[in-house]
Amino acid sequence: MPSIRNGHVSGHEQASLTNYVAYQTKGQDCIGSLDFKSENIQPLAYASGTRLTNLYEVIEVGDENIIAAGDAISLQDVKLLPPIAGRDVLCVGKNYAEHAEEFHSSGFDSSDKVATPTHPVIFTKRFTSIIASGEEIYPHPGFTDSLDYEGEIGLIVGKAGFRISEADAMAHVWGYTIINDMTARERQRDHKQFYIGKSPDTFCPMGPVAVPAHKLDKVLRVQTTINGEKRQDATTESLIFSIPFLIKTLSEGQTLQPGDVLATGTPAGVGIGKVPPIYLDPGDRISISVTGLSTLSNRIASKSSPPCVIDNSTKSIHGTSGLTTINGKPLYCIMKGSASSPPILFIHGLGGSSESFAPLISTLQLETSHSLHILDLEGHGQSPTRAMSTLSIRSFVADASDLIDRHHPNVDNDGWTIIAHSMGCYVALRLAAATPSRISKIILLGPPPVPLPAAVAQANHARAALVREKGMRGIVDAVSTAGTSQRTKDSNQLGLAAVRLSLLGQEPEGYANGCTGLATATEAVDVEGIAARVCIVTGAEDRVSTPEACERLKGCLKNAADVIVLEGVGHWHLYEDPGATAATAAAVRMALKYIGHLI
């Protein structure tokens, strides 16, 4: 990225943290204040300490409710974003007299028969054209041969208003940023309007900062250079239609909203104003400086470069920071132990997460002897889900299979071990049935009936609806009570709390999708054809995985050990009490010995 200081126009010095800059670090959108001299960013937060994520929040909360949060970071260590995005940009054409004349004389002006407009010329630029300072501008070969620049001051609305008077207009201005109103001149001419020629991808560079109006001079100067040569230089005193008049005009029939951006027009000196016209070529650098706003600088990309693609993934409920792409989706997966050791895959149940296995892993010290792969199923724990993603046992199997392919596709020993709990047991069994050569050992903790009874599937659909209506608190009492033993409820409130916390920690929509995914377990599984050695562990008071149901499952398997039943334990074996944890660990140790991993 070029230096922010290049081409900086002197103005007010900002002593406070109001050089607002949007940036991305570790997959998260953040707001900070940029020091123009050091090019360091001071991260900012609400007074509560919660990090700010966009300029809309800054506008709403006000400077006085914003604090510094943590140490400053270098601009070079983050991805710079446009200061504000997500909405089309309002624009004003022909708002400097000399530019209006040069544009009218160029032969490209199809908007009017006279040079100086009698009313403001208003158009919009598509929000998908917005890019940050430092990003490349795609020249769109085949679309335009007359690529031109327009350095402008961008006004940012701070207060909503309808039919705002000129006298009150400045009270609705939050602040300013810099905009390059890139234009395909022949498209602007041929379509006899501005939108198509001004809205191609990357045609609205914006930034690098946004600064409140009260921190800036009343008169702002805009200067544009191309490859270091000054082309434009004017101030807001030269506007044909003043900022208050523009606000009055725009609000006469529509309500302006906080965060709306208005590009106020460009002065003389654009490419079509030259004789002959001088258009931009790949490699050209456009630098636009405004008093107190530093410099917006972008280079024209080569014609072979792909255009910038707008990516909104980090604006979803769950970002992708710290996640691993598995089966084409971001999932949370942690790996422990030596990669060369025998691999174990842990698959939790509905309402569980990768943390469910922490007591077991610690007690058995599995990291010292195995390569551990601990996955949060989609929609659970820290793994997000998408509205377009339909969860099912088969989708969970596909994710687990891809994880295996990525990490140990060809193990030197006799295959993978899977330790699964509850719903995860369906995933383990189906995976073993589908890929018998890869899965050689399975430990099932509390496996539900195989296949899932239709009545239970219907109950899961009902639970999903209840969660969507009332959130996790709508089901936590019933699920935690039914899933734990009487001993846990009577004498181990800590264990019961652990179960409740596991449930309450789930994102409601992810859990609801998990319920409907579990309901697909009504499909038959060829358990008789599973060659893997299997051990089954359940609780004596497990209503989901009764000892009788486990015995029936054992009878269908080729290589199954005797079912291990834990007394005084329900369905949440590892949470219910320290004794149960030790007992479960002992049972798993016994199971591992049976299936060939002596510990």
Architecture of the domain whose range is 89-299: Alpha-Beta Complex (3.90)
Q: DSSP assignment, residue 185?
A: H
Per-residue confidence at 411, pLDDT binned at 50, 70, 90? low
309 or 117, greater pLDDT: 117
Peptide bond into 141 cis (omega under 30): no
Average pLDDT, the chain: 90
pLDDT of residue 13: 41
- Residues spanned by CATH 3.90.850.10 within the chain? 89-299
Question: pLDDT (tens digit, 9 = 90+) per residue, 421-480?
Answer: 999 999 999 999 999 989 999 999 999 999 999 999 999 999 999 999 999 999 999 999
* Whole-angstrom distance, CA of residue 431 vs CA of residue 574: 24
In angstroms, rounded to a whole number, what is the distance separating the alpha carbons of residues 274 and 185?
13
Average pLDDT over residues 291-302: 97
Q: What is each CA distance from 541 to 185, 349, 538, in whole angstroms? A: 76, 18, 9
Phi, psi of 412 (to 5 degrees): -75, -25
CB neighbours of 2 closer than 8 A, spacing ≥ 6?
134, 285, 287, 297
Pairing of strands 204-206, 130-132: parallel
Report the candidate in 207, 51, 242 with the shortest Cα–Cα distance to residue 134.
207
What is the distance, to the nearest Å, from the Cα of residue 161 to the centroid of all Cα atoms in its chain? Answer: 32
Average pLDDT over residues 1-19: 55
User: What pLDDT sits at residue 577?
Assistant: 64
Separation between Cα atoms, residue 333 and residue 373, nearest integer Å? 7
3-state secondary structure of 455: helix
SS3 444: strand
Is 373 within 8 Å of 315 (Cβ atoms)? Answer: no
- 322-595 maps to which CATH number? 3.40.50.1820
Instruction: Give the integer Cα–Cα distance in Å for 439 and 12.
Output: 68
Spatial neighbors of 439 by CB under 8 A, at least 6 apart, are 415, 416, 418, 428, 431, 432, 532
Within the chain, all domains assigned CATH 3.40.50.1820 are found at 322-595
Phi first, then psi, for residue 246 (nearest 5°) are -65, -45
Local confidence band at 7 (pLDDT 50, 70, 90 cut-offs): very low
In terms of Cα–Cα distance, which of 266, 270, 265, 267 is closest to 280? 270
What was the pLDDT predicted at 314? 39
pLDDT surpassing 50 at residue 186: yes
Distance of CA 556 to the CA centre of its chain: 45
* 382, pLDDT greater than 70: yes
Helix (H, G, I), strand (E, B) or coil at 248: helix
- CA triple 402-407-413, angle to 5 deg: 110
Distances (CA, A) of 525 to 378, 441, 515: 22, 17, 19
The residue-averaged pLDDT of 21-49 equals 94
Per-residue pLDDT, averaged over 72-100, amounts to: 94
Cα angle value 88/90/94 (rounded, 5°) = 140
- Return d(Cα 44, Cα 67) in angstroms, integer: 6
Residue scoring higher pLDDT (586 or 9): 586
What predicted TM-score, i.e. pTM, was given to this entire model?
0.68
- Dist CA 340 CA 92 (whole Å): 64
What is the C-alpha to C-alpha distance for residues 191 and 183, in angstroms, rounded to an integer?
A: 13
Closest CA to 583 of 528, 527, 534, 539: 539
**Cα separation, 1 vs 296, whole angstroms:** 11
Residue recorded with tokens 């509560």: 48
